């Protein structure tokens, strides 16, 4: 359709992407074979069948299991490069990507391995694909504050290469306030701050992310819509929400894409953006998220242009760096 052509043609930024969530079934088998990692699947069909779930925890269990095939710097490089190549074809010009160091150090892969491989691919992206980047290190919120501080210490030599920190994994029972001291340290180092909040968790967690973590962006934020005062605050402050429609559908945050709040978010004056979250698991990269959402909730040309613009104004690029894309 006309809208699909517009979506393809517009320069876009992706602000919510877990690199480990871009591990396609084919790559999982390839990395398992080359690293001789035992996995409980033999065929693509078996992997695809395993990439099925209906809530955040079921997804996370499979996501952490999938990570076990990522062993070497080359694996992380190849994973990142494949993602960049994929989104370059969709006119994505800038990416702000997450990685989960604790998902790797926990199983004996040293901190330096993932970050070295990831940065090698990201550093080549401008020349290879015309894509700029920021790298965001996430803490797993189901682990302790002490574990987060251990990871923070391992990250210290890399801080000039890490632009921001994030908070992900199982949300309920692990409120943002649990990590207030880590965020304070990162803020002192001049890092950008983001956190998943209001995906499955209540509006109170979005308030905590704002007030106790002092985040620059909210990842997801869907459940903010349950609280009128919170919506007004987010709209007035121009807070960016990195919304992930196909993720929300896969994890039953919404029952049906026609029920997705994206249109409503724009009507409420929220600075929403469209992102893929874990595209290998949720059935689509960023352009597909745009296309399916546009169709399901009736986004107009203006809505789509606004969303593409928001992806740059909500990014951590300077105004000068954003300008050519707007
Ligand atoms: C995630 Cl969708 C989602 N939510 C929370 N944590 C995550 N890590 C990777 N994907
Ligand atoms: Zn996410």
Q: Percent helix, strand and coil across the chain, each rounded to 5? A: 55, 15, 30
Q: How close is the Cα of 100 to the center of ligand 2, in Å?
A: 11
pLDDT for the residue 103: 98
- In the chain, DSSP finds a helix count (H) and a strand count (E) of 17, 8
307 occurs within a structural domain: yes
Q: Where are the beta strands (DSSP E) in the chain?
A: 12-18, 92-99, 132-140, 164-168, 192-197, 217-220, 240-243, 271-274
pLDDT of residue 111: 98
Confidence of residue 204 (pLDDT cuts 50, 70, 90): very high
What pLDDT is recorded for position 6? 98
Atom of ligand 1 nearest to the CA of 168: 6
Judged against a pLDDT cut of 90, whether residue 52 lies above it is answered with no
Tell me how far the alpha carbon of residue 145 lies from the centroid of ligand 1, in angstroms: 18
CA-nearest residue, atom 4 of ligand 1: 169
Q: Is residue 326 part of a domain?
A: no
Q: How far is the CA of 277 from the centre of ligand 2 (A)?
A: 5
| Domain limits for position 153 | 2-314
pLDDT, tens digit (0-9, with 9 covering 90-100), for 286-308: 999 999 999 999 999 999 999 99
- What domain count does the chain have? 1
CA–centroid distance, residue 278 to ligand 2 (Å): 7
Q: Is the pLDDT of residue 1 over 90?
A: no
Q: Whose CA is nearest to atom 7 of ligand 1?
A: 169
Residue 325 lies in a domain: no
- Please provide residue 124's backbone torsions phi and psi, each rounded to the nearest 5 degrees: -85, -10
Residue 320 belongs to a domain: no
In this structure, the residues whose C-beta lies within 6 A of any atom of ligand 1 are 18, 21, 56, 63, 168-169, 196, 199, 247, 277-278
Q: If you measure from the C-alpha of residue 17 to the centroid of ligand 2, how many angstroms do you get, rounded to a whole number?
A: 6
Is 46 designated active site? no
Q: Which of 15, 16, 17, 21 to mutate to test the pocket of ligand 1 (most atoms within 8 A of CB)?
A: 21
Share of the chain above pLDDT 90, in %: 97
Q: pLDDT tens digits, residue range 88-132? A: 999 999 999 999 999 999 999 999 999 999 999 999 999 999 999
pLDDT value of residue 75: 98
Question: Which residue's CA lies nearest to atom 1 of ligand 1?
Answer: 169
Atom of ligand 1 nearest to the CA of 63: 9
Compute the average pLDDT of residues 243-261.
Answer: 96
Residue 142 assigned as binding residue: no
Indicate which residue of 24, 171, 199, 292 is catalytic: 199
The per-residue pLDDT of the chain, averaged, comes to 97
Flag whether 84 is in a domain: yes
pLDDT tens, residue by residue, 148-161: 999 999 999 999 99
Residue 220 known to bind ligand:
no
The stretch 255-266 carries a mean pLDDT of 98
Q: Does the annotation flag 325 for ligand binding? A: no
Are 164 and 194 within 8 A, CB to CB?
yes
pLDDT higher than 90, residue 54: no
Would residue 321 count as lying in a domain? no
CATH assignment at residue 117:
3.20.20.140
User: How much is the ipTM here?
Assistant: 0.96
Q: Is 277 annotated as a binding residue?
A: yes
What per-residue confidence (pLDDT) applies to 238? 98
Average pLDDT over residues 242-255: 96
CA 3 → CA 10, 29, 295, 311, 326, distances in Å?
Answer: 11, 36, 9, 18, 18
Please report whether residue 324 resides in a domain.
no
Q: What is the C-alpha separation between 25 and 66, in angstroms, rounded? A: 9
Mean pLDDT of 7-35: 97
């Amino acid at each position: 359709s006309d809208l699909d052509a517009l979506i393809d043609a517009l320069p876009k930024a992706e602000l919510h992407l877990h690199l480990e969530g871009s591990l396609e079934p084919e790559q999982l088998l390839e990395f398992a074979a080359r690293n001789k990692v035992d996995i409980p699947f033999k065929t693509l069909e078996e992997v695809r069948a395993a990439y099925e779930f209906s809530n955040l925890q079921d997804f996370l269990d499979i996501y952490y299991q999938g990570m076990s095939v990522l062993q070497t710097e080359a694996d992380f490089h190849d994973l990142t490069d494949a993602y960049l190549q994929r989104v370059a074809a969709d006119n994505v010009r800038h990416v702000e990507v997450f990685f989960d160091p604790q998902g790797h150090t926990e199983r004996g892969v040293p901190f330096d391995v993932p970050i070295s491989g990831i940065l090698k691919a990201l550093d080549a992206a401008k020349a290879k694909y015309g894509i700029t980047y920021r790298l965001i290190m996430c803490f797993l919120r189901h682990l302790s504050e002490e574990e987060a501080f251990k990871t923070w210490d391992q990250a210290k030599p890399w801080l000039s290469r890490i632009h921001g920190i994030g908070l992900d994994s199982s949300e309920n029972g692990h409120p943002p306030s649990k990590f207030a001291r880590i965020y304070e340290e990162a803020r002192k180092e001049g890092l950008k701050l983001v956190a998943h909040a209001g995906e499955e968790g209540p509006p109170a967690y979005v308030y905590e992310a704002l007030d106790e973590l002092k985040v620059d962006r909210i990842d997801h934020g869907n459940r903010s819509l349950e609280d009128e005062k919170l919506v007004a605050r987010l709209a007035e402050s121009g807070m960016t929400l990195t919304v992930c429609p196909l993720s929300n559908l896969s994890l039953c945050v919404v029952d049906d894409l026609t029920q997705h709040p994206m249109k409503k978010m724009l009507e409420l004056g929220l600075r929403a953006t469209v992102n893929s979250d874990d595209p290998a698991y949720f059935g689509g990269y960023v352009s597909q998220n745009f296309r399916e959402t546009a169709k399901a909730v009736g986004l107009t040309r203006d809505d789509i242009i606004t969303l593409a613009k928001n992806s740059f104004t909500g990014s951590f690029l300077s105004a000068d760096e954003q300008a050519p894309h707007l």
